[in-house]
A and B are shown apart, each in its own frame.
Chain A
C-alpha cells in the first residue's frame, strides 16, 4: 500500500506553488478577471517553464501523479487557467484540452482563451468545441459543439478527477487562510481561535478537506491502475469534493466574517473561482443522481462488493 503521491510528484507540486507565487500569486486571478484575454499570457509562460505540457498523465504513471500535484498547486493560487482541463486532453485527438460537459447547456471556464477543446459527455460522446457564448462569472461560457464520435468513455475519469485536484488545492488554501485569520483576529479580548465554537467549525471543515485528499488519491490510482470502475470512483470523488467544498467555504467565510467577502481578501477570490469546479459539468445533486444510476444495486467497489 502506497497512499501518497511519489516524492517526485510532491516536489513538482511544490515547484508549481513557488512558480505560481513568483508569477504573481494571488494577483493573477484578479488581473485575469479584469482582462480575461490575458489569461494565456499570465499563466501560460509559467506553465510552459514548469514543463506542464510535457506531462503525459494518460500513459505515464509518474506523469499522472505530477499532473495531479500541479492541479492542486494551481488551485491553491486560484490560477486563472484551466490546467486540469488541458492536462486531461485525449491522446488520440490533436487538441489542447478536454472538458467534461453535461448534456444540457454544455459549458466550460474557457473565456478569453484561444485553444482547441474537445468536449466529452459522461456517456462518452465527444465533440469539437466550435464556438463559445458570452462569458459569465469565473470565465464560464456556454460551448457550441460539433459531434466527433462516441469513443470518449475512457476519457471521462481523468477529465473529472484532475479538476477535483484543483478544487482540493483551493480547499487547502481556504483552510490555511482561515486558520491564520482566526489565530490573529481578536474579539472580546481573545483570538477567535480560543473559542470552542470556532475550533469545532474548523475541525468539521478539516475532516471534509482531509477526506477529499485521500479520495482524490484513490481515484487517481484507480485511473492509473486502469480499473474498470475508474469513472464511478471519479464520480464518487467529485460528489464528495463538492460536498466538502460547500462545508469548507461556508465555514471559512463564516470565520472570516465580513472581511472574507472583500476583494482585498484572497478567500473571496477562491470562493468565487471555485464555483465552476463545483457546478460543472454537474452540481452536487446531479452528480449524485448520475453515480446512483451508474452503480445501481452494486454500489462502489469495496470490502463487500
Chain B
C-alpha cells in the first residue's frame, strides 16, 4: 500500500496555493456574494489557471486538457474547495459538463463547447431540479414537445445554481412518456441568452447569488442541441451524478478551517474545554476518513471498478462531516477574541462554512437518496 500521492501532486499543491495567495483576496468567500468583485476574481482566476494549463488538468490533451493523473485532479479539487472554489461556477464545467460532453457529445458539440470551458470563458448551469421533482428527479414536468424539426421547451426549474451568470444550461426535459418515468427524458444544451428563458434569483443563506428559478416559455431547440440520444437522457444523468458525487472535496475546506483554529486561538487554545478539543480531534479524524474514502472512490472510478454503493458511502460520510465540523467550528469561533490576529478572517470563514454546510445533505442528491443507493447495493449482495 502507498498513501503518498507523490512529488508531482505535492508540487502541484504548492503551485496552486501560491496562485491562490497571489490572485485571490484573503477574505474571498466565493463568487456569489453581493460584491461584484468576487465574481470578477473567479473569472480572472479561471483565466489564470487556463493560461497555465491548470484549469482542465485531467482532461485529455486532445480536448485542451493537461492529460494529468486522477490524483493531480484530486489535488486541484481539494485546493480549490479548501479556498472557497476560486474558479467560481466554472468548476461545474470543468468537473462534469466537459467530461460528459466528451463521452456523449457529437464532434460538433465537442468542438463548440469544450474549448471555451478549457479556456475558462464560460459558465454552465444544470437544469435538473423542479418544484415537483427534487430527489424524485425523473418525475420532472418540463416538457419538450415536437414542433417541426425541433422541439419547444416549456416548464420551470428551481434551485438552479449560477443561472444568473451562466451562458449555457445542461437541461433535462421530457420528450416522451415510456413505461417507466426514467424513459423519455432528453438532455439539451441550450444558450441562456435566449429570450424564451427567464431567471429569477432566490436569495438564500448559501449565498445571495447562488440559487435561482429558471422559466422556459416555448424555448426552441433542435436535434443539434440534443446530447446523446433522444429519450435516453436518464443514463447521462446517472453519469453526471457519478461525477458530482466526488466533484466537491468538502473535506478539504473542513480540514483547512479545523487546522487553522488553534493558530487563531493562540495561547487560548489550551484553555478551551477539554471536551471541545476532543470533539475537534474527533472531527479531524472524520476529515481523514472522508478524504481516504474519496480517494477510494477516485481509485475505483479510474479503474472502472466502481459500484453504486461506493460513491454513496463516501457522500454520506463527507456530507455529515461537513455539518459536524461546522458545529465544532462554530463552538470554537465563540471562544475567539474579536481583536485576535486573523479573527475576522476565521469568523467569516466559519460562519460561511456553517451556512453552506446546512445544504450539504440536501444538494447534489440528498443523503436519503445516498442511503437508498447504498442499501440497494448492500442488499443486492445478499441475493
Contacts and interface: CB of A to CB of B under 8 A. Distances in A.
A289 B382 contact: no
A295 interface: yes
A296 B256 CA distance: 17
B1 interface: yes
Nearest to B374: A203
A214 B289 contact: yes
A199 B378 CA distance: 9
B4 interface: yes
Nearest to A305: B259
Contacts of A211: 286, 289, 293, 317
How would you classify the secondary structure of chain A's contact residues: helix, strand, loop or mixed?
Answer: helix
Interface string B267-287: 001100010011011101111
A210 interface: yes
A156 to B, nearest CB: 18
A95 B370 CA distance: 49
Interface in B116-141: none
Contact of B2 (A2, A236, A240, A295): A2
B360 to A, nearest CB: 15
Interface residues of B, number: 54
A202 B255 CA distance: 28
A299 B281 contact: yes
A63 interface: no
A302 B284 contact: yes
B383 interface: yes
Given A65-B1, A179-B382, A299-B284, A203 B316 contact: yes
Interface string A280-296: 00000000110110011
A193 interface: yes
Contacts of B309: 206
How would you classify the secondary structure of chain B's contact residues: helix, strand, loop or mixed?
Answer: helix
A4 interface: yes
A175 B313 CA distance: 15
Interface in A170-226: 175, 179-180, 182-183, 193, 196, 199-200, 202-204, 206-207, 210-211, 214-215, 217-218, 220-222, 224-225
A202 B1 contact: no
Nearest to A298: B262
A154 B276 CA distance: 30
Contact of B1 (A2, A175, A289): A2
A218 B265 CA distance: 30
B78 interface: yes
Interface residues of A, number: 49
Nearest to B376: A199
Nearest to B259: A304
Chain A CB within 10 Å, residue with most, of B3, B258, B309, B372:
B3
B293 A214 contact: yes
A289 B265 CA distance: 20
A202 B256 contact: no
A221 B1 contact: yes
29 contacts: A1-B2, A1-B3, A2-B2, A4-B1, A5-B1, A65-B1, A179-B379, A180-B382, A183-B382, A183-B383, A203-B312, A203-B371, A203-B378, A204-B316, A207-B313, A207-B317, A210-B293, A210-B313, A215-B288, A217-B3, A217-B292, A218-B288, A220-B1, A239-B285, A288-B282, A297-B269, A300-B284, A302-B255, A302-B291
Interface of A: 1-6, 65, 175, 179-180, 182-183, 193, 196, 199-200, 202-204, 206-207, 210-211, 214-215, 217-218, 220-222, 224-225, 236, 239-240, 288-289, 291-292, 295-300, 302-305
In the A-B complex, the 7 residue pairs with the closest CB atoms: A297-B262, A199-B375, A304-B259, A214-B292, A183-B382, A203-B371, A211-B289
